[in-house]
Amino acid sequence: LFAGCRSLPSTRPPAPMSMAVIPAPASVQTLSGSFTLDAHTRLTVAGSGDSEWIAGYFIKLLQSSRGFTLQIDARATPSHSRGGIAFAIDAAAPVTNAEGYLLTITPEGVAVSARDRRGLFYGAITLWQLITADARHATRISLPALRIVDQPRFRWRGVMLDSARHFQSPGFIEHFVDAMAIHKLNVLHWHLTDDQAWRLEIKKYPRLTAVGAWRVPAGHAATSDIDSATGKPRLYGGFYSQESVRQIVAYAAERGVTIVPEIEMPGHATAAIVAYPKLGVLDAPPTAVPSDWGIYPNLYNAEESTLRFLEDVLDETMGLFPGEYIHVGGDEAVKDQWKASPRIQERMRELGVANEAQLQSYFVHRMERYLRAHGRRLIGWDEILEGGIAPDATVMSWRGIDGALAAAHGGHDAVLSPWPTLYLDNRQSEAATDPPGRGRVISLEDMYRFNPMPAALAAAEERHVLGLQADAWTEHMRTEERVEFMTFPRAAAVAEVGWSQATRLDWNDFVTRLVPEFDRYRALGIGHANSVFSVRIDAQAPLTNGSARIRLSNQGHHGEIRYTLDGSAPTATSTRYQNEFDTGPQGEIRAATFQGDHLISSIAARKLDVSSVGRRSSRDLKLCSERLALALEDDAPLVGDRAMFMIDLMNPCWIYQAADLSSGATLSAAVGQLPFNFQIGDDVHKIEFHQPQSAAGELEVRIDSCDGERIAVLPLAPAARHDDVTVLPAARIAPRAGRHDLCLSFTQNGVDPLWAIDWISLDR
């Protein structure tokens, strides 16, 4: 590690960076010697039943990842545990923080102690990580002697999970909590209500889940999927019974995770208003739970009965979630309905509030008083600052960090959760294997480099930053598998930023530590992205011959990339990639990342014949603009794999860059149609299309620019009746010298359905 720093004075042996532990501990001191652990190592516990539970958790982790089962030795006490591992909760442990712990490894034994069960739990996790640092050592494990004194930098290390847009099973929520726990993440902000669903059982208002938890998904494919039991389109949904919530909350608490429930108000309220129309503003309120994404204009009204309803809901919520904080949403409440409603305007006069922002502030003040009277604290998205923040409210800053700055300047606490950097719905790479999401790439490194302590805060204000949180909004995460893929390992980066001291943060070291972390994920069945190590293969056909120019890279710039050209799987002795090269025009390249002889990525493959190199998926095309770029999944087929389209919703237009047209080309296109299920308000009028020449519209191809000459037109009629992807009849493009950008866009009369390119292929 210090080989590059020979000029440093070497009076003291340097402390090892952080071993294979994520998040990096606050302080690691190396001692001399080592301790060898195997299946016969004794484990003793002291301090309470909690120590025993934690020892049991540690044993299970080890069992999953190393295959042997340590026994708790009930006869021995920790003070007589020479030669073994001792876990103790001890009021005299030399740590100052309830989440802190002391871990010592000497040739005589291993001891983990903490003042509180949370600290001991984290010490056990760290010990498990040290034991699983090297995949090659599975049965007799030598642990270097050391002393770790650890505690978190921030007290709020969170992940938000949106269970409204898509529903995850209670079993998955527990699995997700376990995955959080091994990262020392300690807050699960659970987004339980939104326009598209209400997921929390409230006994006093059963329609919230009987009605509000169910919807018909958007698009023709779903609306034509008739449920034979009802004769109507099949409903998507689910909810969490109070019994299952109690179980999840207790499960999380055992693992040091507090669940902060979110009940959205006054906006993102459509599902509740559909269930109980009297809560809404309109005379003709919505009658079905909607399935569009975006921001609906439906707000709660401000009648006393509605405020009481919300207090009733908070009552039952507090009964289920014992944590200090209750989240009341507050974001994106567009005030159009309040402005247009005579009754709301009258109500504002009754309440003595001057404008709609103050009415929202009145709402939040009232809820804050209610929560405070019950010994709880209110947290809300940064819009709760508008119109005046409630006295004890905590701000979750999502529109950048300005909300956090304003909160801290005003003496309020804040949690940093800024879009886009900490939003897990953003793609994490451009790879074809990445699932749908927002189009912007927020890489693992982007999250890792997030600064959790804004420079604009005075030293005395820093204590108001409780911590940070990454948010898994699930509009585009239809499956639990995708939730995990989008969350991990980026949540590991957030965990390290939240736990580790700023001086311990080191991207290259973090990436090295991810290698054993990914082994642990596999052992525990934690789904995750491997974007950081995956090899990206760029292939472009040069003009003169048919061969392809190959460029290989991985996002983490880590390890060695090795490849084959004969169709075999790359190994640790395959050719190492150094610089771009030409090959082909046939066969296939396969490439993977190695760390020494350890394969640390999946194997990427790409065919190199001329027609494969000439074919580009929508991910390989350039978007003409990125005003609202999305990686959207098709709505069909209902069962099985669906195509995914990169598209700028505000300007559906793609560029095939540098096409070689010297011999002319046959242009083929595969296209799909998406439901336009986006509530984007008046912005919908900003989407412009060329006029169609036929009823179904056309795919138009223009040369050199999007205003350039139209050189091909592919009618959409053959695709009009297909929910799925359709390959259109090809069009011939006449020869032109050199390379040209081709601009591809659709003609259509309205936005629905929205046509999208799956792939474009150019053949000679």
CA distances from 644 to 142, 625, 691, 724 (A): 47, 18, 26, 11
Cβ atoms within 10 A of the Cβ of 308, count? 10
Amino acid at 664: G
Q: Which is nearer to ligand ACM, 117 or 166 (CB)?
A: 166
Measure the CA–CA gap between 84 and 706, rounded to whole angstroms.
71
As measured in angstroms, the least distance from the Cβ of 469 to ligand ACM is: 11
Q: Which is nearer to ligand ACM, 471 or 496 (CB)?
A: 471
Longest dimension (CA), the chain: 87
Backbone angles phi, psi at 62, to 5 degrees: -65, -40
Residue with the shortest CB distance to ligand ACM: 331
Is there a cis peptide before residue 454, judged by omega within 30 degrees of 0? no
Q: Which of 183, 268, 476, 528 is catalytic?
A: 268
Q: Which is nearer to ligand ACM, 292 or 303 (CB)?
A: 292
Rounded to an integer, what is the distance from CA 607 to the centroid of its chain? 31
As measured in angstroms, the least distance from the Cβ of 150 to ligand ACM is: 32
Q: Examine the residue annotation and report whether 332 is marked as an active-site residue of this protein.
A: yes
Residue 669: strand, helix, or coil = strand
As measured in angstroms, the least distance from the Cβ of 419 to ligand ACM is: 6
Q: Which of 90, 99, 162, 194 is catalytic?
A: 194
Tell me the HSE value of 24 on the side-chain side, using a 13 A CA sphere: 26
Q: Which is nearer to ligand ACM, 389 or 643 (CB)?
A: 389
As measured in angstroms, the least distance from the Cβ of 272 to ligand ACM is: 17
As measured in angstroms, the least distance from the Cβ of 329 to ligand ACM is: 8
* Orientation angle between helical segments 356-373 and 304-320, nearest 10 degrees: 40
Q: Examine the residue annotation and report whether 383 is marked as an active-site residue of this protein.
A: no
> Contact residues for ligand ACM (CB under 6 A)?
331-332, 381, 398, 419
As measured in angstroms, the least distance from the Cβ of 386 to ligand ACM is: 14
Q: Which is nearer to ligand ACM, 82 or 399 (CB)?
A: 399
Q: Which is nearer to ligand ACM, 332 or 609 (CB)?
A: 332
H helix intervals, 476-622: 480-487, 490-499, 507-524, 610-613
Q: Are 201 and 212 in contact (CB under 8 A)?
A: no
Which among 212, 334, 336 has a CA at the least distance from the CA of 276? 212
Q: Which is nearer to ligand ACM, 256 or 329 (CB)?
A: 329
Measure the CA–CA gap between 524 and 65, rounded to whole angstroms.
7
Q: Examine the residue annotation and report whether 558 is marked as an active-site residue of this protein.
A: no
Burial zone of 253 (CB within 10 Å; 0-12 exposed, 13-18 middle, 19+ buried): middle
As measured in angstroms, the least distance from the Cβ of 473 to ligand ACM is: 7
CA angle 174, 120, 45 (to 5 degrees): 105
As measured in angstroms, the least distance from the Cβ of 471 to ligand ACM is: 7
Measure the CA–CA gap between 36 and 638, rounded to whole angstroms.
54
Q: Which is nearer to ligand ACM, 20 or 384 (CB)?
A: 384
| Terminal-to-terminal C-alpha distance of the chain | 53
Q: Which of 332, 509, 626, 683 is catalytic?
A: 332
Length of the chain: 764
Q: Which residues are catalytic?
A: 194, 268, 332
